[in-house]
Amino acid sequence: MSSESSSQAQNGVEAPGSYGAEMLSRTITGNASGSPVLLLHGWGSSAANMAPIAQALSSDYRVTNMDLPGHGHSPAPTEVIGIPEHAALIKEIIDTHIGEPVTMVGHSNGGRIALYMASHQVYKPLIRHLVLVSPSGITPDRPIGYYVRRTIANLLKAPFRLAPEPLRAYGLDWLRHSLAWRALGSSDYRALEGVMRNVFVRMVTCHLDEQVRDIEVPVLLFRGDRDTAVSQRQMEYLVDAIPDAGLVILENAGHYGYMDDFATFIAATRHFLKTTC
Spatial distance between the Cα atoms of 117 and 169, rounded to a whole number of angstroms: 33
Stretch 117-133: mean pLDDT, rounded? Answer: 97
- What pLDDT is attached to residue 276? 84
Give the distance from CA 274 to its chain's centroid: 25
Q: Do 81 and 64 sit in the same domain of this protein?
A: yes
Question: What CATH number should be reported for the domain holding residue 212?
Answer: 3.40.50.1820
- Within a domain: 52: yes
Cβ neighbours of residue 192 closer than 8 Å, sequence gap 6 or more: 200
Residues 149-158, mean pLDDT to the nearest whole number: 54
**Rounded to whole angstroms, how far apart are CA atoms 169 and 187?**
26
The reply to whether 75 and 173 lie within a common domain is no
Do residues 183 and 217 both lie within one domain?
no
Task: Tell me, yes or no, whether 230 and 101 share the same domain.
Answer: yes
pLDDT at residue 231 greater than cutoff 80? yes
Does residue 222 have a pLDDT over 60? yes
Q: What is the dihedral of CA 241, 39, 53, 207, to 10 degrees?
A: -30
Same domain? 113 vs 170: no
Helix (H, G, I), strand (E, B) or coil at 229: coil
Average of pLDDT values for 21-27? Answer: 93
Task: Give the percent of the chain with pLDDT over 90.
Answer: 67
Q: Nearest 5°: phi and psi at 241?
A: -85, -30
Whether residues 115 and 185 share a domain: the answer is no
Q: How many residues does the chain have?
A: 277
Rounded to whole angstroms, the Cα distance separating 129 from 176 reads 40
Number of H helices, E strands in the chain: 11, 8
Residue 139: which pLDDT band, with cuts at 50, 70 and 90? very high
- The candidate with the shortest Cα–Cα distance to 84, out of 189, 12, 190, is 12
Residue 268 within any structural domain of the chain: yes
In a domain, 103, yes or no: yes
Rounded CA separation 77/245 (Å):
34
pLDDT at 252 over 60: yes
Which pLDDT belongs to residue 20? 87
The domain of 68 spans 2-139+207-276
Residues 149 and 98 in one domain: no
pLDDT given at position 180: 57
What's the average model confidence in pLDDT over 214-232?
Answer: 96
Write down the H helix ranges in 163-249.
167-176, 179-184, 187-190, 195-204, 232-241
Percent of the chain exceeding pLDDT 70 equals 77
